[in-house]
Amino acid sequence: MRYVLKIAYDGTSYAGWQRQKNAVSVQQRLEEALLQALGTEVKVTASGRTDAGVHALGQVCHFDAEVSVPPEKMPDCVNRFLPDDIRAIKGWQAEDGFDSNRSAKRKTYCYRLYEGDKENPLLSRYAVRIENLPEVSLLQDAARLFEGTHDFKAFCASGSSVKTTVRTVYEVKVVKEQVFSQPIISVYVTGNGFLYNMVRTMVGELIEIAAGRKTADSLQKAYETGERNLLGKTMAAKGLTLVDVVYQD
């Protein structure tokens, strides 16, 4: 039977989703917990990697196991063996042919920013401080430039091997939110898939354009040439959270 789990994690202490040789990953901790819970080794596949330090509220993963645990009981079963910063929040049986990675239709990430001249210790695990954050309306205008189908090669960390760097971004939504009585800006990015570092580079460029330091033209040139050095910096991992993975069209 193929089990599907929706999981949430605080990525601060992990070298990302994928197993690493010299660092602890979320995948490793989850597979270890499943071994303890089920008494059998399983290999877990996720909708996609998240980088070191990136968080998740709705990561989806699957594994195959011949055990007697009902799928909806799997979260409680494995949570007993997981560290506090990783939680399985929902479990169900996979439909025929389901693969958490290949069947994913769209994903939503959230990048969180706050303005201030001092760090806020209650925000700084999950959001990134910017000294002069552009107006929300300017960020919203700039957000439009990233929507649509583009070649995002320039947004991608070098060294990654993917067949195509063309992706479709369905929506980039910039919203003002209050977290722990502090105003923050959340940038929600929904697309059919994301390259390594793509959201973090996109948010960096979004700020540059909204602040007037870069233009729509220079972004267009980055789409056309694929040159990384036309873009601003890659934003820190801790501001990024994988919010949702959708499997229906």
Nearer to a second copy, 99 or 171 (CB): 171
Q: Smallest distance from the beta carbon of 188 to a second copy, in angstroms?
A: 9
Q: State the residue for tokens 């009902």.
A: 70
Q: Smallest distance from the beta carbon of 141 to a second copy, in angstroms?
A: 23
187 to each of 175, 202, 245, how far by Cα in Å?
7, 10, 16
94-124 exposure pattern, b = at least 16 Cβ within 10 A, e = fewer:
beeeeebeebbebbbbbbbbbeeeeeeeebe
Q: Under rule CB under 8 A, which residues in 222-241 are in contact with a second copy?
A: 241
Q: Smallest distance from the beta carbon of 124 to a second copy, in angstroms?
A: 7
Three-state SS annotation for 108-152: EEEEEEEECCCCCCCCCCCCEEECCCCCHHHHHHHHHHHCEEEEC
Q: Under the criterion CB under 8 A, does residue 88 sit at the interface with a second copy?
A: yes
Q: Under rule CB under 8 A, which residues in 182-211 are in contact with a second copy?
A: 182
Residue length of the chain? 249
Tell me, by CB under 8 A, how many residues bind a second copy: 31
- For residue 177, give every residue at least 6 positions away whose Cβ sits within 8 Å of its Cβ, in sequence order, or none: 183, 184, 185, 186
State the binding string over 2-21 for a second copy (x if CB under 8 A, else -).
------xxx-----------
Applying CB under 8 A, the span of 64-72, 87-95, 163-171, 219-227 interacting with a second copy comes to 87-95
Yes or no: say if 104 and 60 are a contact pair by the CB < 8 Å rule: yes
Nearer to a second copy, 123 or 209 (CB): 123
Q: How far is CA 131 from the centre of its chain?
A: 24
Catalytic residue of the set 51, 64, 141, 151 = 51
Q: Smallest distance from the beta carbon of 183 to a second copy, in angstroms?
A: 12
Nearer to a second copy, 75 or 226 (CB): 75
Q: Smallest distance from the beta carbon of 41 to a second copy, in angstroms?
A: 25
Q: Is 51 a catalytic residue?
A: yes
Yes or no: say if 231 and 175 are a contact pair by the CB < 8 Å rule: no
Catalytic residue annotation: 51
